[in-house]
Amino acid sequence: MGRTLHYHIKAKNGRFTRKELEKLYNVGQVYRDKCKWSCETIDITPYNIYPNWNKKSDWDKLNKRWAELEQQELHANEISKILVKEKIASFHGDNPQYGFYGFTKVGGNELNALQVVLALTAASRVVKNALIHINDEGEFLKCPIVIENNKAVPDKTRIAQDIYWLLGAPLFEDGYQQYKDEFARKAQLLWQYSRSDDGQQKDIAFFCRPVKSADFAEHPEYGVAQIMAGFDGEYYSLSDKDAEAESYRMIAQLQKILPKDCEIVIAPKINSTKTK
């Protein structure tokens, strides 16, 4: 499917409210609209829908009805629920009140990977009830993480699963024998990061590899074939002598999209914000 970041957004108390789901969706829309994306965009969509094929619906019917409901200034989450009730659409997955999944293909664009992570970090700040697991198929994230209220810790359960596969695949699965040494190195690094938190949450930058925005300023949009081909997730174009300082500046710049003293407004205009 091509290099992807996967995320699972859970409710710490077991269930999201309607307003919390709307706020999560709205944060995603702000970052989707204000960042440049060369592949897919951030997708924080609790009520993800598709045409109800069993009722002879299709994308044209769905989009037409969506446009009609949008004129009533309903929130996107409410529109999705109405379309399902009218049997024009069906939900992907289970009831999002208990948690939901999302993913974004970024190819080799490490700046887009950073944008995904910071959008989810902002979501955790706006909705304190959110616990967000992120796993990167590439190597922008040093290890899978769990974000809670703007901070992160290693996702030790996911790391254990990844280490198990990395060490086992060259032994038991065809086609992986040649990667034995490389996989062992990656497994060791994951193990080291799983022990790096000392029981304390860390700033999100601790888990991110350096990114220089200028390296991706002219990054072309990907065609389907390129997206599906997959990428290794690393790049070596950093021109700054102090790569980490440059990366921190980039993180600070992207965090200004949704400042700490702002919150998402529950309103028809889904990308609006206000100062507390």
pLDDT in tens, 128-170: 999 999 999 888 898 999 999 999 999 999 988 888 888 887 7
Q: Does residue 160 come out as left (phi exceeding 0), alpha (psi in the -120 to 50 range) or beta?
A: alpha
Q: Let me know if residue 275 belongs to a domain.
A: no
Q: Let me know if residue 87 belongs to a domain.
A: yes
Judgement on whether residues 132 and 194 belong to the same structural domain of the protein: yes
pLDDT at residue 269, rounded to an integer: 45
d(CA 119, CA 28): 6
pLDDT at residue 190, rounded to an integer: 86
Name which of 48, 49, 40 is nearest 2 in CA terms: 40
Q: Let me know if residue 81 belongs to a domain.
A: yes
d(CA 27, CA 6): 17
Judgement on whether residues 66 and 137 belong to the same structural domain of the protein: no
Helix count and strand count (H, E) for the chain: 8, 10
- Residue where a domain stops, chosen among 91, 117, 149: 91
pLDDT at residue 224, rounded to an integer: 61
Asked whether residue 272 carries a pLDDT value surpassing 50, the answer given is no
For the ranges 16-25, 54-63, 219-228, the lowest mean pLDDT is seen at 219-228
pLDDT one-digit tens code per residue, 60-86: 999 999 999 988 888 888 888 899 999
pLDDT one-digit tens code per residue, 91-121: 887 778 888 999 999 888 888 999 999 999 9
Give the range of the structural domain holding residue 193, as residue numbers without chain letter: 4-46+95-268
Asked whether residue 215 carries a pLDDT value surpassing 70, the answer given is yes
pLDDT at residue 268, rounded to an integer: 47
- Residue where a domain stops, chosen among 33, 63, 91: 91
Query: What number is the average pLDDT over the span 4-29?
Result: 92
pLDDT one-digit tens code per residue, 164-208: 888 887 777 777 778 788 888 888 888 888 887 677 888 888 888
Asked whether residue 22 carries a pLDDT value surpassing 80, the answer given is yes
pLDDT at residue 264, rounded to an integer: 58
Judgement on whether residues 190 and 213 belong to the same structural domain of the protein: yes
Q: State whether residue 216 is helix, strand or coil.
A: helix
Measure the CA dihedral 262/266/271/274, to 10°: -30
Q: Let me know if residue 149 belongs to a domain.
A: yes
DSSP 8-state symbol, 6: E
pLDDT at residue 179, rounded to an integer: 77
pLDDT at residue 233, rounded to an integer: 46
pLDDT at residue 85, rounded to an integer: 92
Judgement on whether residues 25 and 147 belong to the same structural domain of the protein: yes
d(CA 46, CA 28): 11
pLDDT over 90 percentage in the chain: 31
pLDDT at residue 213, rounded to an integer: 79
pLDDT-based confidence at residue 225 (cuts at 50, 70, 90): low
Domain count for the chain, please give it: 2
Judgement on whether residues 108 and 204 belong to the same structural domain of the protein: yes
